Amino acid sequence: MARIESKLQSLGLVLPPPVAVPPGVSLPFPWVRLSGERAFISGHGPQNSDGTLSAPLGKVGRELTIEQGYQAARLTALGMLASLQRAIGDLDRVTAWVRVFGMVNAAPGFHRMPAVINGFSDLIIQLYGPEIGAHARSAVGLAELPFDIPVEIEAEVEFSG
């Protein structure tokens, strides 16, 4: 078994199937766009193990606590890893997590976006270690996110050919 898959299994984590978008929604873009040895990963939200959007939905700082936002960001990492695995085959091919852009559906006055997006970063670094997993990152608050998801995260990685 591949190293990253083995780590996921040891943590009791499962990669979800492709996201089940709500009825009537069309997404005219790929979840992962490969260019040379780079993968540009479209914005992902938190998913359940069956691919559906994960609850709770809403704004962090109002409907969700920081801890719930952190968990949503962690689930987002799993969905992103699943998309990346479908695109490149083996997650062990990733040689660097280059950049992460985290967006938080933030209630007015909420300013702890980095603490929420840490749910994503902490898992990636736990799986890949600091050499491959450390990444440049932004964590911003937005007034709204699609489908009222609490977080949306996009990333760029390098992988071996």
CATH number, residue 62: 3.30.1330.40
Per-residue confidence (pLDDT) for residue 71, from 0 to 100: 98
Per-residue confidence (pLDDT) for residue 65, from 0 to 100: 98
Q: Residue 123 CA to chain centroid, in angstroms?
A: 10
- In the block, residue with structure tokens 């978008």: 21
Residue 161 has pLDDT above 90, yes or no: no
The reply to whether 27 falls in a domain is: no
Task: Tell me the pLDDT of the chain averaged across its residues.
Answer: 97
Contacts 24+ apart (CB under 8 A), 50-58: 50/16, 50/17, 50/20, 51/16, 51/17, 51/18, 51/19, 51/20, 52/19, 52/20, 53/19, 53/20, 53/22, 53/147, 53/149, 56/150, 57/147, 57/148, 57/149, 57/150, 58/105, 58/148, 58/150
Helix, strand, coil % (nearest 5) of the chain?
A: 35, 25, 35
The reply to whether 123 falls in a domain is: yes
pLDDT digits (tens, 9 = 90+) for 58-96: 999 999 999 999 999 999 999 999 999 999 999 999 999
The count of domains in the chain is 1
How many Cβ atoms are within 10 Å of 22's Cβ, its own excluded?
A: 10
pLDDT digits (tens, 9 = 90+) for 14-37: 999 999 888 899 999 999 999 999
Phi, psi of 11 (to 5 degrees): -90, 0
Could you tell me the residue range of the domain that residue 52 belongs to? 3-16+37-159
The reply to whether 134 falls in a domain is: yes
The reply to whether 140 falls in a domain is: yes
The reply to whether 60 falls in a domain is: yes
The reply to whether 111 falls in a domain is: yes
The reply to whether 30 falls in a domain is: no
The reply to whether 81 falls in a domain is: yes
